[in-house]
Amino acid sequence: MADLYNITTPFGLLDAETQAALKAHRGKIEYYGCDGSWIFIPSPAWLKYSVYRAKKKPLEFWVNEYKNCAFGLAYSTKEKADHAGGASRTRCIHVREVEEK
């Protein structure tokens, strides 16, 4: 099975396992457009000559900031950051990757 996020092969040439995994993917699917860019499509047609891939989720994490301006570790959820934050925490910073156009 191919890496669903790095596919460059037309759908019809993918092995059956990769085709099934792409169709079952619960995240967003992108289509390789004629202009050479990846385009989000809400309902793929699964054409055999078209190239589809799963769209990666943006990187997202939470970091605690402390009174002495030091930052703590990165946490995968706000709940985990809150749990790890000490009494000297001044705030919890939410960081989310932004896709550049």
- pLDDT tens for 57-93 read 888 999 999 887 778 789 999 999 999 988 889 999 9
46 and 72 in a single domain? The answer is no
Distance CA 44, CA 83 (A): 41
The verdict on residue 92 lying in a domain is yes
Number of domains composing the chain: 2
In percent, the amount of the chain with pLDDT more than 70 equals: 98
Residue that the structure tokens 């596919």 belong to? 7
Domain residues for 26?
11-54
> Whole-prediction pTM value?
0.64
Mean of per-residue pLDDT scores for the chain? 91
Q: Which residues of 21-55 are buried (b: 16+ CB within 10 A; e: fewer)?
A: ebeebeeebbbbeeeeeeeeeeeeeeeeeebbbbb
pLDDT of res. 19: 96
